[in-house]
Amino acid sequence: PMGSERMEMRKRQMSTTQETPGAAQAQHSSGNRGPNACCFCWCCCCSCSCLTVRNQDEERARRASHELQAEGIPNCEESPAPTLEEVNAWAQSFDKLMLTPAGRNAFREFLRTEFSEENMLFWMACEELKQESNKSVIEEKARLIYEDYISILSPKEVSLDSRVREVINRNMLEPSQHTFDDAQLQIYTLMHRDSYPRFMNSAIYKDLLRSLSEKSIEA
């Protein structure tokens, strides 16, 4: 009986020894499949095809954002090159700077460096609206101006106080050429007081003035 018990124990030990490598191998294989195999669990923490899809979505979103940004800055106004007299006049007053397309273009270039070009674009859009007489065109342009520069959802939203916004909202019930007059004046004043002094001290203005002065001397 004792001998048969020993034999039985030895068989069990041998059986266990044979099963252990297989089990260990299976466990090792199972442990290694996490980083490479596709998971369908709620945590989705493995680097599998689901992450590939996620990366593709992120890349697509980045590409779309880049394309929106690359749609381009609206073209500057057509104008002849400014003269030395005109550029000197810009330093006399903000009104003289804004009076000519060349002055507005130079100022827009400066505003772009300060990421505030939307102020000039809004002011120019309001000027264009004032030239319209067709009711349907006025309503469409007013809607576009509102969406581009007044809506809080727009990346080009201009800075307006609550009183002016209330006026605009009332005016939008029946848009006209003068729907944004109060807002246009507020933005004009903001550019005059805030951006214009910095423009006069900017490299953009000084380089232009120096270049024209040198050409004048050479002539």
* Residue 78: pLDDT band with limits 50, 70, 90: confident
Mean pLDDT of the chain: 79
CATH 1.10.167.10 is right for the domain spanning 84-216: yes
Residue 96 contacts residue 89 (beta carbons within 8 Å)? yes
Burial class (CB in 10 A: 0-12, 13-18, 19+), 190: middle
More confident residue, 63 or 174: 174
Spatial CB neighbours of 156, under 8 Å, sequence gap ≥ 6: 118, 121, 122, 148, 149
For the ranges 3-7, 100-104, 207-211, the lowest mean pLDDT is seen at 3-7
- Distance spanning both ends of the chain, measured CA to CA: 125
CA-based radius of gyration for the chain: 35
Q: Over the stretch 110-149, which tens digit does the pLDDT of each residue have?
A: 999 999 999 999 999 999 999 999 999 999 999 999 999 9
85-89 long-range Cβ contacts below 8 angstroms, 24+ apart: 87/205, 87/208, 87/209, 87/212, 88/209
How far apart, in Å, are the Cα atoms of 36 and each of 22, 29, 43, 52, 169?
22, 11, 15, 12, 56
Spatial CB neighbours of 128, under 8 Å, sequence gap ≥ 6: 141
Identify the pLDDT of residue 8: 56
More confident residue, 28 or 163: 163
CA distance 205 to 63: 35
* Rounded average pLDDT over 175-190: 98
Q: What is the pTM of this model?
A: 0.65
* Rounded average pLDDT over 82-105: 97
In terms of Cα–Cα distance, which of 90, 111, 91 is closest to 99?
Answer: 90
